[in-house]
Amino acid sequence: MSIEDVDLDGPRPDEVRIRVAASGLCHSDYHFIVGDMPHPLPVVLGHEASGIVEAVGENVRHVKVGDAVVSCISTYCGECTQCQTGHNYRCDDKPARAPAIGEARLSQAGKPVHQFGQLGGFAEEMLIHAHSVSRIPEDMPLDVACLLGCAVLTGVGAAIERAKVRPGDMVAVIGCGGVGLNVIQGARLAGASRIIAVDLNPAKLELAKVFGATDLVAGGDGVVEQVRELTKGGVDYAFEVIGLAPTVRQAFMMLRKGGAAVMVGVPKFGSDISIPAMPFLQQEVSLISSMMGSVPFQVAIPRYAQLYLEGRLNLDSLVSQRIALTDINKGYEQLAAGSVARSVITFEGVGRA
């Protein structure tokens, strides 16, 4: 990635312009950086951002200039069947501005520049659709608030909203990065009696204890047997938060009868997953997916922010380091090496008046 100047258009009636305060380095962007998934170029990546509203279009009513907001990739139209039935994170007609010359939100030398997820949070400013932001409480720190828009929403939501973990349930989480740690604390908030963290990285396993893991298991061969032995038959829910076919299969195989494996990790574009048919039938287990927490972000983000302010949701321990935009490539090298939970880009001088 290179740091360059681009031009921003003014907000159209349904758009907002935001001065970015902080932006988290998420693994989803990394898939596009290394080519695991395709995307038109040039593109401004970044989707997990917080900031202050600087301008709004004439139709925008839910936020105003000066508000602190968090962006989310789950932009919604509000009118399709998915939106009307309470699933706007699965919107069928996400609003977007055509990137033709003269119509793009971002441009460089008169040519359009794409925005990842119609956002582009690795920048000093964003110009985005109003249905991409949620207002947050006034006393919410912006340098951790950005995490609410993806890592927290995706992880906590997967446990609470999609799986609907109940008090006393036993849970396994495969992959203890930024999202996996939030699955763990989502299961803790839901009252799970046992939360088994699985990872190849010993440092991530130790961090998992901070978020509520009761047991630590090194990933790799034999992990299914270890989990089944620990739980005397398997877990109620197994969350796969890596995006690899072998670990999805592991999650499926460590279930007790009636359990569910939940795919949270983003797989490589075009990859396939296979599971054994007979356990699927005879044990009445299921394989489900969870996208962006399986919950409308404009409802969940303020709720999760309040949990943080009440001391019930741990965001501070998620931030391994705060870096400048100029260190973004080094930050992604560290993410790929598994040496950080979450790096957050912070922009100096951005805050509430």
pLDDT tens column, 32-76: 888 887 888 999 999 999 999 999 999 999 999 999 999 999 999
Where in the chain is CATH 3.40.50.720? 155-291
**Total-model pTM:** 0.93
Q: Which two tokens stand for residue 119?
A: 């956002």
Q: What distance lies between CA 128 and its chain's CA centroid?
A: 18
Distances in Å between the Cα of 6 and the Cα atoms of 2, 15, 112, 207 are 12, 18, 9, 39
Amino acid type, 230: L
Of 225, 267, 217, the residue nearest 246 (C-alpha): 267
Contacts of 263 (CB under 8 A, 6+ apart): 240, 248, 251, 287, 288, 289, 290
Domain 155-291 fold:
Rossmann fold (3.40.50)
Just list the catalytic residues. Answer: 26, 28, 31, 47, 150
Sole residue written with tokens 């996208």: 291
Positive/negative CA dihedral, 255, 188, 308, 301: positive
Distance between CA atoms of residues 118 and 128, nearest Å: 7
Least confident segment among 28-37, 51-60, 250-259, 323-332:
28-37
Q: Which CATH code for domain 7-149+314-346? A: 3.90.180.10
Distances in Å between the Cα of 111 and the Cα atoms of 102, 115, 118, 132, 172 are 8, 13, 17, 24, 48
Mean pLDDT confidence for 12-32: 92
- Please give the residue that has the higher pLDDT: either 322 or 341: 322
Where in the chain is CATH 3.90.180.10? 7-149+314-346
CB 49 within 8 A of CB 126: yes
Order of strands, sheet of 43-44, starting from the edge strand that comes earlier in the sequence: 7-8, 106-108, 111-115, 43-44
Give the dihedral of Cα atoms 276, 284, 182, 208; nearest 10 deg.
-70
pLDDT at 331 over 50: yes
> 99 falls in which pLDDT band (50, 70, 90)?
low
pLDDT of residue 353: 45
